[in-house]
Amino acid sequence: MRSSQNNDCLRLPKAIRLALVDHLQAVYPEEGCGLLAGSRAEQRATTLYTVENVAHNRRTQFSMAPHTQLSVFTEIEAAGLDLLAIYHSHPNGPETPSATDVAQAYYPDLVQVIVSLASNRPKLRAFWLSQTNLHEIPLIFE
């Protein structure tokens, strides 16, 4: 279970934010997805891991490639990092959780970053998300 200490936000350095948006724009019009790792104490992402969305040809759903996802989990642990967030895009917006996102919220201890690509300027928002709870948290761009 997540603690309330330092979980009121997610800090994204500029390089991480730009790499995240670049990845999602590269796989447009499909939903893109990946993981963010870093320091749980600071709630600051330091490493971005792109993961293939194996739900190809579905513009409203993502499913991470299982082998890649497990490999990333192992890499994060070996590097002494904390898994902080799952990110994915909504190619046609909005930057809020869909009914599918809520139904498939299998990691309630991780922040969910949702990016809308519906306009020329991508919009990013972050949420604590479970099948029974939705709570937006601030994204702090460093």
| Alpha carbon distance 131, 87 (integer Å) | 17
* Rounded (to 5) percent helix, strand, coil in the chain: 20, 35, 45
Please tell me the total count of domains within the chain: 1
Pair 33, 60: CB distance under 8 Å: no
Residue 92 domain-assigned? yes
Q: Which two tokens stand for residue 110?
A: 């991780």
What pLDDT was estimated at residue 7? 61
Residue 9 scores a pLDDT above 60: yes
Mean of all residue pLDDT scores within the chain: 91
What is the model's pTM?
A: 0.91
Residue 2 domain-assigned? no
84: domain range? 10-141
Residue 4 domain-assigned? no
CATH number of the domain at 32, please: 3.40.140.10
- Rounded to an integer, the average pLDDT of 63-88 is 96
Residue 64 scores a pLDDT above 80: yes
Pair 97, 135: CB distance under 8 Å: no
Residue 5 domain-assigned? no
Residue 71 domain-assigned? yes
Residue 49 domain-assigned? yes
Q: To the nearest whole percent, how much of the chain has pLDDT over 90?
A: 76
Residue 28 domain-assigned? yes
The tens digit of pLDDT for each residue in 30-57 reads 999 999 999 999 999 999 999 999 987 6
State in Å, rounded, how far the first CA of the chain is from the last one: 27
What pLDDT was estimated at residue 57? 66
